[in-house]
Amino acid sequence: MTDLTKLTLAGARDKLRSGDVSSVELTETFLTAIDKADALNAFAHKTPELALERAKAADVRIKQGDAPDMCGLPIGIKDLFCTKGVPSQAASRILEGFKPEYESTVSQKLEDAGAVMLGKLNMDEFAMGSSNETSVYGNAVNPWRRGNDDAQLTPGGSSGGSASAVAADLCLAATGTDTGGSIRQPAAFTGITGIKPTYGRCSRWGVVAFASSLDQAGPMAKDVRDAAIMLEAMCGHDAKDSTSVDLAVPNFEAMLTGDIRGKKIGIPAEYRMDGMPAEIEKLWADGTEMLKAAGAEIVDISLPHTKYALPAYYVIAPAEASSNLARYDGVRYGHRATLGAGDGITEMYEKTRAEGFGHEVQRRVMVGTYVLSAGFYDAYYNRARRVRTLIKQDFETVFAQGIDAILTPATPSAAFGLGEMTDADPIQMYLNDVFTVTVNLAGLPGISVPTGLDSQGLPLGLQLIGRPWEEGDLLNTAYALEEAAGFVAKPAQWW
Amino acid sequence: MSIDESTAAKVAKLARIKVEEDALPALAQEFNAVLGFIEQLNEVDVEGVEPMVSVTPMRLKRREDVVNDGDQQEKVLSNAPDAREGFFTVPKVVD
């Protein structure tokens, strides 16, 4: 009997169709695997009863013969998505006990397609972090280790629980969200595939907001085909999100031919950072060769404002966060501080937010408050938005020259140890997103594909950046890269 | 531009986050680290560049101005830390 947890989405879909396995069996197998993997701390809230109920319904649908691709497939949902009647805390103390009365559009679409939610996944608090160390649930742990060293490594962040769960075969795939790299960086750290679609492809309705002009949901999966299948189920216009685009959603899986002959792949000079580890440089050069060998034309390009993407991001994202997180005031939902005698409404706000928000969230809310405050709005916020325009123009220029996709490293290093960055200044942590954050600022689709291992046996990924709305073409290029790289390594099970 | 403790206290107040007196020096230092990083933006020539409003240029959809939701008082209040008689409850706001 094959180990059902090792299946891909596509493989499990085909087995469900042929009647080799039922969704209930598949779901029970994953529920057992999840219970054995508490050491990874990937699942923050398990929903076994709900999962089995949905699996039973899916089996009925599959028997009737008209089930969508995702029907009966067990997945995990990042805690940032509001799920009706199920705790949805964005990994924050301030949303302790919050059970939404509604379902996010993306998780609703997945539910409508018959997908089986196994539970809610760990993440950085309000998606602010690159190591899953800011979570109220504690750290999620990477299933990968450095050889025989038992030091715990980060699965990356903010979608760290999603990455850990998929890499450890605790679910077939998971939802993630990406504001500055939060799908692509953890995917790279755990040897899985993650795509952030074009801004506007997935509805943000019901997803706890961090920085609304940058936030996008996307799938984290075992391979490119699975990412294509799940992305299609997540996308689509939603009247409840005014930034959601009214465009037809293609059949992404059908676009995976692996044929990229004649495609122009840009290699941006500015991504060759000072002090880039030799292993990352080699990975990138190898990936370039693979695409060339597959028939693509390699073109050196320039994206001159790359250097300013992170500083612009650390104005725009905190500014939007300070506004979005103003709603957590202890009145309508979540935590409220115990008040002292004589405390009024201002003390209630201040104590509630001091107790409810963790350190990194407090820092970003206050930085955002500062850059938006009278006298500084122009100098910081408006200047950052101007730089953002220039960053987007950089990409428009190269796309106008005929570039189809851009190849870069996904991260500046492999996964680092949990706690290793604790004493570093916050900027060091922010540098994790140096290759991914430009894509959010320009609203483009980006995908991270595992293509190699470092000298310590840890996975490394490359990023492909595509033209707006051309996720299908991007996925196909990623598919060609995946085929050429032939990455099949899995972490040895220790949990 | 350097942030001192009194500016840090003012920002915390604006953000409605209680910061104890003895935590202000460290907070001011963190602000300065982040702002020092952001200062790089001053190197960019942004003359004549419009600040980005929307990353995807599109006209917002219009719809009929009609009530299409509502009458869910119980659901709206179900997660409130303190709700009484169909209302959110807060400390006294007006004397």
- Quick: pLDDT tens for B42-84: 999 999 999 999 998 888 888 899 998 899 999 999 999 999 9
A23 vs A17: CA distance, rounded Å: 10
B-chain residues within 8 Å CB-CB of A99?
78-79
pLDDT digits (tens, 9 = 90+) for A199-215: 999 999 999 999 999 99
Q: Which residues, 6 or more positions from B11, have their beta carbon under 8 angstroms from its beta carbon?
A: A366, A369, A370, A373, B3, B31
Q: What is the DSSP letter of A446?
A: E
Confidence of residue A275 (pLDDT cuts 50, 70, 90): confident
Domain membership flag for residue B52: no
ipTM: 0.96
A187 vs A193: CA distance, rounded Å: 6
What burial class does residue A417 get, using C-beta atoms within 10 Å of its C-beta: 0-12 exposed, 13-18 middle, 19+ buried? middle
Confidence of residue A426 (pLDDT cuts 50, 70, 90): confident
Instruction: Using DSSP, state whether A58 is helix, strand or coil.
Output: helix
Domain membership flag for residue B54: no
Domain membership flag for residue B81: no
A-chain residues within 8 Å CB-CB of B66?
none
Instruction: Using DSSP, state whether A417 is helix, strand or coil.
Output: strand
Q: Which of A40-44, A343-347, A379-383, A418-422 has the lowest mean pLDDT?
A: A418-422
Look at B38 and A370 and tell me if their CB atoms are within 8 Å: no
Domain membership flag for residue B15: yes
Interface membership of B66 toward A (CB under 8 Å): no
Domain membership flag for residue B57: no
A21 vs A13: CA distance, rounded Å: 10
Query: What is the number of H-type helices and E-type strands within chain B?
Result: 3, 2
Look at B15 and A336 and tell me if their CB atoms are within 8 Å: no
The average pLDDT across A136-157 equals 96
Confirm whether A130 is a catalytic residue: no
Min Cα distance A401 → chain B (Å) is 20
Count other C-beta atoms under 10 Å from residue A475's C-beta: 30
Q: How far is CA A370 from CA A103, A164, A378, in A?
A: 34, 35, 12
pLDDT digits (tens, 9 = 90+) for B17-43: 999 999 999 999 999 999 999 999 999
For the cut 80, the answer to whether the pLDDT of residue A451 exceeds it is: yes
Total tally of structural domains belonging to chain B: 1
For residue A273, the model assigns a pLDDT of 87
A333: left (phi over 0), alpha (psi -120 to 50) or beta: beta
Domain membership flag for residue B92: no
Taking CB atoms and an 8 Å cut-off, how many pairs form between chains A and B?
165
Amino acid at residue number A403: I
Domain membership flag for residue B20: yes
Q: Which residues, 6 or more positions from A26, have their beta carbon under 8 angstroms from its beta carbon?
A: A4, A12, A16, A55, A72, A73, A74
Choose between A107 and B93: higher pLDDT. Answer: A107
Confidence of residue B1 (pLDDT cuts 50, 70, 90): low
Min Cα distance B79 → chain A (Å) is 5
For residue A461, the model assigns a pLDDT of 98
Confirm whether A182 is a catalytic residue: yes
Residue A220's DSSP bridge partners are A174, A194
- Domain holding B35, by residue range, is 5-42
Provide the whole-model pTM.
0.97
The average pLDDT across A218-245 equals 97
Interface membership of B70 toward A (CB under 8 Å): no
- Whether the CB-CB separation of A279 and A413 falls below 8 Å is answered with no
Look at B16 and A385 and tell me if their CB atoms are within 8 Å: no
Interface membership of B42 toward A (CB under 8 Å): yes
Domain membership flag for residue B33: yes
Confirm whether A109 is a catalytic residue: no
